[in-house]
Amino acid sequence: MAFNRKKNKPFEGDTVALDTVDLSYDGATPVLSAVNLALPQSSFHFLTGASGAGKSSLLSLLYLAKRPTAGSLKLFGEDVTGASRNKLAGLRRRLGVVFQDYRLLDHLSAFDNVALPLRIARVPEAVVTQDVTELLKWVGLAEQMDAHPPTLSGGQKQRVAIARAVVNRPKLILADEPTGNVDDTIAVRLMALFVELHKLGSSVVVATHNESLVSRFPFPRLHLDGGRLTLLPPLKPAASILGEG
């Protein structure tokens, strides 16, 4: 497990490897400083920290919306510095992102929103229909497939956003407050989905400041404070989930 490895040093084959990464939006005030991070394949981490600590900034580095101001960032073993735009697009297809503000396309139905990553990756339409339908049923939106985002509640939108993030069975899942707008029962159900994908081999990072959620799962925490990242042990001892599994 990542948190057992010394100093969290990057390792060949890691899904994510950040080496002394700085990020600054204006060139002066650092948002992230000297961040080292290695996420092995099939890992699960919470990302915690107060608002403004840099959680969303770190995630935006990982989903390639931002480039590091200094340091190196490797995704699936590929250095993203100087990578072509097509290369970046290819890397993005291997990750799934749940945005805090969902970022659904209002002119598309819930079904088409979820289908988007598959269609962009040119997955045959028969497969798209089957996978999307199944997933939307699973997140409890069977009735809302043809609804457009503006007519959905916050929680429903969040579930569409999660479905879109995982429909492509990504190798890396980044979720920014994915359970912020749903009640606890649904939150646990959605977390179970992430855990399931994690068990199937995806690396998962869930940013949240919901302590009760964090305390229910035996996953290590990446904690951000003033732009510095520290690795903390799980709030829940690992033994109890081993008992479950």
Partner 1 sequence: MALFGRTDLPIQKNAASRFIQWLVMVLVFMAAIAATVNAYTGSLLAHWNRSVTGTLTVQVPAPMEKPGKPNDVPKDVAAVLGVLKIHPDVLRVEAVPRAKVVALLEPWLGSGEAVSDLPLPALVDVALKPGTDTRGVTDAIMKAAPTALVDDHRVWLNRVGNLAEGVGMIALALMGIIAAALGLTVIFATRASLAEFRDVIEVLHLVGARDDDIAGQFARRALGQATAGGLLGLALYAPTLGVIALLARRVDTSVLPNVGLPIAHWALLASLPIVAGVLAMGAAHVTVRRALRTMV
List residues binding partner 1 (CB under 8 A). Answer: 63-65, 85-86, 89-90, 92-93, 97, 103-105, 107-108, 116-117, 119-122, 125, 164, 168
CB of 85 to partner 1, least distance (A): 6
Closer to partner 1 at the Cβ: 50 or 89?
89
Query: CB of 97 within 8 A of CB of 174?
Result: yes
Q: Is 24 helix (H, G, I), strand (E, B) or coil?
A: strand
Closest separation in Å from C-beta 76 to partner 1: 13
Q: How far is CA 11 from the centre of its chain?
A: 20
Nearer to partner 1, 170 or 227 (CB): 170
Nearer to partner 1, 123 or 241 (CB): 123
**Burial letters for 181-207: b for 16+ Cβ neighbours within 10 Å, e otherwise?**
bbeeebbbebbebbbebbeeebbbbbb
C-beta closer to partner 1: residue 48 or 60: 60
Output the CA torsion 153→159→165→166 (10° steps): -160
Cβ count within 10 A of residue 141: 20
Strand, coil or helix: 190: helix
Q: Given the complex with partner 1, which of 126 and 239 has the nearer CB atom?
A: 126
Q: Shortest approach of partner 1 to residue 50 CB, angstroms?
A: 25
Q: Least CB distance from residue 117 to partner 1, whole Å?
A: 4
CA dihedral 227, 170, 214, 230 (to 10 degrees): -30
Choice between 108 and 147, CB closer to partner 1: 108
Minimal distance, residue 89 CB to partner 1, in Å: 4
User: Please, which residues have CB within 8 angstroms of residue 215's CB and are 6 or more apart in sequence?
Assistant: 235, 236
- Shortest distance, CB of residue 107 to partner 1, whole angstroms? 4
Q: Are 136 and 142 in contact (CB under 8 A)?
A: yes
